[in-house]
């Protein structure tokens, strides 16, 4: 994945045990395609050596404002102007206090002060003991940093290096990477609430058996991440899949189509967009047995009768039309052939403005896909790509079609 291709990140380390996580974070940035210039405070060098950070970033580390390697002897100017973003991880309590006061007596705080604020965002990842984090002085500083336009990332909760338990741990390297990638995504769904269904449903036959399908949930989960990256509040109603919840997304786990319908109805009124990416079972066993159906050795096989499941998407779209159409509904069609014709027919049948077609056997379980968008204006093809890349493009297509919020 090259989510950060072409981006140049200044990674600043201030003093804290969490410096060990900065090494892996640096590696993650490089793997994601960024170039990384590490700058360390003197305190940070007590926790991790510049040698490690140089090896991981492939560049010599800066730590002094008097570094004569720069021709003009102004590393604070040169480094801050090259950057697409400055990320301080870990940001110690002391370092944030320095930022608040505009201190400039070490290279890292100096270059933060000298950065062109309108062009180079500053992200800080706080890391400290829970008492230090909860202290009114730190909380005041965090509020002031936000007021000054700094992006203050959250903290983790749990066991701390000091042996205490609480808020203040630095986010994990993968969480930090997600936050940086998210920062660069256009905020086309800012202020919107997006409701998404994903994955298969599971229709019980008895307490141990059931019917399901091959949907992996990957497309719906990618859409949830892409919508969150785009600034939306996201509710993800997921059938039984083992995928991790995208950061910042509210997940509701369900099993059957009826469970999914209830969960969707509970959130639909608050939503601006509904994306039905789930592969909902069309039918369910008419009478699920309360106890396991036993094989008795007679060779007789149980007969299964089915009833039709509610069509969640059609129901939500109908409800939205009845309420004046404020909710923008998007359906998916997984077909095996005649994609365009089926997608057009499905769009009309479901009563939704946008229908997204894909070839089922070419997408189930895979990490890539190709999409065909059908709306009242015609068709748009999104050629084969990774599911996250496609999800970002689909989110942008949906955002373009929304009435202005």
Does 216 help bind ligand C5P (rule: CB under 6 A)? no
Max CA-CA distance within the chain? 91
Q: Omega before 90 cis (within 30°)?
A: yes
Q: Which of 92, 197, 233, 363 binds ligand C5P (CB under 6 A)?
A: 197
Q: Which is nearer to ligand C5P, 41 or 213 (CB)?
A: 213
Per-residue contact flags (x/-) with ligand C5P for residues 363 to 392, judged by CB under 6 A: ------------------------------
Show the tokens assigned to 385.
Answer: 């790509």
Residue 388 burial by Cβ neighbours in a 10 Å radius (0-12, 13-18, 19+):
buried
312 is in an annotated binding site: yes
Residue 79 is assigned to a ligand binding site: no
Instruction: Give the burial string for 39-56 (b: 16+ CB within 10 Å, else e).
Output: bbbebbbebbebebbeeb
Identity of the residue, 133 or 332, whose beta carbon is nearer to ligand C5P in the bound complex = 332
Question: Does residue 179 interact with ligand C5P by CB under 6 A?
Answer: no
Q: How far apart are CA 231 and CA 149, in angstroms?
A: 17
Q: Which C-beta is closer to ligand C5P: that of 310 or that of 325?
A: 310
Cross-strand bridge partners of residue 195: 235, 274
Select the span of 75-83, 150-158, 210-218, 309-317 touching ligand C5P (CB under 6 A): 309-317
- 160 contacts ligand C5P (rule: CB under 6 A): no
Q: Using CA atoms, how far apart are residues 112 and 102, in angstroms rounded to an integer?
A: 9
Stretch that binds ligand C5P, among 68-76, 183-191, 303-311, 361-369 (CB under 6 A): 303-311
Residue from 88, 89, 91, 276 binding ligand C5P (CB under 6 A): 276
Nearer to ligand C5P, 188 or 312 (CB): 312
From 38, 40, 153, 257, residue interacting with ligand C5P (rule: CB under 6 A)? 257
Residues 6+ apart with CB under 8 A from 93: 126, 128, 132, 133, 135, 138, 141
Instruction: Check binding of 309 to ligand C5P (CB under 6 A).
Output: yes
Say whether 295 counts as a known binding-site residue.
no
Calculated CA dihedral for residues 263, 266, 267, 272, nearest 10 degrees: 120
The answer to whether residue 331 forms part of the interface with ligand C5P (CB under 6 A) is yes
Nearer to ligand C5P among residue 103 and residue 342 (C-beta):
342
Q: How far is the CB of 257 from ligand C5P (least distance, A)?
A: 5
Beta pairing, strands 368-375 & 354-359: antiparallel
Q: Closer to ligand C5P at the Cβ: 230 or 312?
A: 312
310 labelled as ligand-binding?
Answer: yes
Contact residues for 259 (Cβ-Cβ < 8 A; gap 6+): 201
362 is in an annotated binding site: no
333: contact with ligand C5P by CB under 6 A? yes
Return the active site residues.
162
350 appears as a binding residue in the annotation: yes
Token representation of residue 203: 């229709």
| Contact present, 87 and 9 (Cβ < 8 Å) | yes
Q: Is 346 annotated as a binding residue?
A: yes
Give the separation between CA 139 and CA 123, rounded to whole angstroms: 16
Please give the full DSSP string across 186-249, using - where no structure is assigned: --TTTT-EEEEEESB--EEEETTEEE-----SHHHHHHHHHHHHTT-EEEEEE-S--PPPPTT-
* 282 appears as a binding residue in the annotation: yes
Residue 213: CA count within 13 A, CB half-sphere: 21
* Minimum separation from the CB atom of position 280 to ligand C5P (A): 4
Binding region for ligand C5P (CB under 6 A) out of 110-118, 229-237, 305-313, 365-373: 305-313
The token pair that represents 137 in the structure block: 């002085």
The four Cα atoms 122, 123, 128, 133 give a dihedral, to 10 degrees, of: 90
Which of 36, 56, 107, 313 is in the footprint of ligand C5P by CB under 6 A? 313
Nearest approach, Cβ of residue 332 and ligand C5P (Å):
4
Any known ligand binding at 142? no
Q: Please, which residue, 36 or 390, has the CB nearer to ligand C5P?
A: 390
Residues contributing to the site for ligand C5P (CB under 6 A): 197, 257, 276, 278, 280, 309-313, 331-333, 346
Annotated binding site: 282, 292, 310-313, 332, 346, 350
- Feature table: binding site for CTP: 282, 292, 310-313, 332, 346, 350
């Amino acid at each position: 994945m090259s989510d950060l291709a072409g981006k140049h990140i200044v990674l600043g380390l201030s003093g804290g045990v969490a410096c060990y996580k900065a090494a892996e974070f640096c590696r993650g940035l490089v793997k994601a395609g960024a170039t990384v210039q590490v700058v360390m405070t003197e305190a940070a060098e007590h926790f991790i050596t510049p040698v490690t950070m140089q090896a991981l970033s492939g560049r010599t580390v800066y730590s002094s404002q008097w570094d004569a390697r720069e021709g003009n002897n102004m590393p604070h100017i040169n480094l801050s102007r090259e950057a697409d973003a400055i990320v301080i991880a870990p940001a110690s309590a002391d370092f944030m206090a320095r930022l608040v006061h505009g201190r400039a007596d070490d290279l890292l705080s100096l270059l933060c002060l000298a950065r062109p604020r309108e062009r180079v965002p500053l992200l800080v990842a706080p890391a400290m003991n829970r008492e230090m984090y909860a202290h009114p002085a730190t909380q005041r500083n965090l509020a002031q940093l936000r007021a000054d336009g700094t992006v203050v990332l959250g903290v983790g909760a749990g066991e701390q290096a000091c042996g205490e338990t609480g808020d203040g741990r630095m986010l994990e390297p993968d969480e930090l990477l997600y936050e940086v990638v998210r920062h660069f995504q256009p905020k086309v769904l800012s202020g919107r609430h997006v409701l998404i269904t994903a994955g298969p449903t599971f229709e019980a036959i008895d307490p141990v058996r059931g019917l399901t399908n091959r949907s992996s949930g990957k497309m719906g989960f990618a859409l949830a991440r892409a919508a969150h990256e785009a600034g939306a509040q996201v509710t993800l109603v997921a059938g039984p899949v083992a995928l991790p919840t995208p950061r910042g997304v509210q997940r509701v786990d369900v099993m059957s189509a009826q469970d999914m319908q209830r969960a969707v109805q509970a959130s639909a009124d608050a939503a601006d967009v509904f994306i039905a990416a789930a592969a909902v079972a069309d039918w369910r066993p008419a009478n699920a047995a309360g106890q396991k159906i036993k094989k008795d050795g007679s060779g007789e096989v149980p007969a299964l009768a089915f009833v039709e499941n509610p069509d969640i998407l059609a129901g939500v779209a109908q409800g939205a039309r009845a309420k004046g159409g404020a909710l923008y509904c998007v359906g998916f069609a997984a077909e095996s052939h005649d994609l365009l014709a089926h997608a057009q027919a499905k769009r009309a049948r479901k009563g939704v403005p946008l229908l997204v077609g894909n070839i089922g056997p070419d997408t189930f379980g895979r990490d890539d896909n190709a999409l065909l968008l059908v709306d009242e204006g015609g068709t748009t093809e999104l050629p084969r790509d990774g599911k996250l890349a496609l999800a970002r493009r689909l989110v942008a297509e949906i955002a373009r079609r929304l009435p202005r919020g």
